[in-house]
């Protein structure tokens, strides 16, 4: 995961929704199925909180929900939300398909990423986000929570605090790294 890729995406001839889905995968570390199936009614534009709905562990048919089964809330950076709102069209999906009534497909983002580097996978960004987090000093349990990995061992037993504020900080700092933006001081 590199800031160069973020900039490379801008120069490509892709649908604007595919580009933004790719950036969302890079920023959030969420599974690509969660990202491409995100809906506008999952985002509170006033607070910038994206709430990925929870899925019962026995409910394998519901797509677009977190694999862990828990609801996941992430505060997205203000400039990111502003750009997202600029590309909004009449669709329930944040990233509607340019050719169907559904959403951008995981394969569309994968093909686009492979134009940059044929070794890239959608899922690989999850590891990249964790690696970046370690490099800037976030503990592994925070990064595991951020990308929706289940906590294990002592972390499962003792890390019961609400990590949503930590996730908001991670998202903002990662956005600054990827985009080169300075949102540290001008964000609500």
d(Cα 40, Cα 30) in Å, to the nearest integer?
Answer: 17
Tokens of 128: 């990249």
Instruction: Give the mean pLDDT of the chain.
Output: 81
For the stretch 80-116, pLDDT in tens is 999 999 999 999 999 999 888 889 998 898 899 899 9
Model confidence at 43, pLDDT cuts 50, 70, 90, reads very high
Give the list of residues 6+ apart from residue 68 with CB closer than 8 angstroms, or none: 148, 149, 150
Model confidence at 187, pLDDT cuts 50, 70, 90, reads very low
Q: Answer yes or no: are the C-beta atoms of 32 and 122 closer than 8 Å.
A: yes
Q: Say what percent of the chain tops pLDDT 70.
A: 79
In this prediction, residue 149 carries a pLDDT of: 56
Scan for tokens 């956005």, then name that residue: 175
Scan for tokens 């990064």, then name that residue: 143
Beta strands (DSSP E) in the chain are 43-44, 49-52, 72-75
Q: Say what percent of the chain tops pLDDT 90.
A: 37
CATH number of this structure's domain 3-179 = 1.10.443
Q: Answer yes or no: are the C-beta atoms of 134 and 144 closer than 8 Å.
A: no
**Closest alpha carbon to 138 in 154, 159, 118:** 159
Q: When comparing pLDDT for 159 and 130, which is higher?
A: 130
d(Cα 29, Cα 25) in Å, to the nearest integer?
Answer: 5
Q: When comparing pLDDT for 144 and 96, which is higher?
A: 96
Backbone angles phi, psi at 162, to 5 degrees: -75, 120
Cα dihedral 42, 2, 144, 55 in deg (nearest 10): 30
In this prediction, residue 40 carries a pLDDT of: 94
Q: When comparing pLDDT for 153 and 134, which is higher?
A: 134
Mean pLDDT over residues 118-130, rounded?
85
**Closest alpha carbon to 15 in 100, 80, 92:** 100
């Amino acid at each position: 995961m590199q800031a160069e890729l973020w900039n490379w995406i801008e120069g490509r001839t892709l649908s604007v929704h595919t580009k933004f889905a790719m950036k969302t995968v890079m920023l959030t570390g969420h599974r690509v199925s969660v990202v491409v199936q995100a809906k506008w009614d999952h985002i509170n534009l006033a607070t910038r909180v994206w709430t990925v709905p929870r899925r019962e562990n026995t409910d394998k048919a519901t797509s677009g929900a977190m694999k862990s089964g828990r609801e996941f809330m992430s505060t997205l950076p203000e400039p990111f939300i502003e750009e997202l709102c600029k590309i909004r069209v009449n669709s329930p999906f944040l990233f509607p398909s340019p050719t169907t009534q559904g959403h951008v497909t995981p394969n569309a983002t994968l093909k686009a990423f492979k134009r940059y580097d044929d070794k890239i996978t959608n899922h690989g960004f999850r590891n990249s986000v964790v690696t970046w987090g370690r490099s800037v000093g976030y503990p592994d349990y925070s990064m595991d929570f951020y990308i929706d990995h289940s906590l294990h061992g002592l972390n499962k037993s003792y890390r019961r605090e609400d990590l949503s504020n930590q996730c908001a900080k991670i998202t903002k700092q990662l956005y600054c790294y990827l985009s080169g933006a300075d949102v540290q001081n001008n964000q609500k």
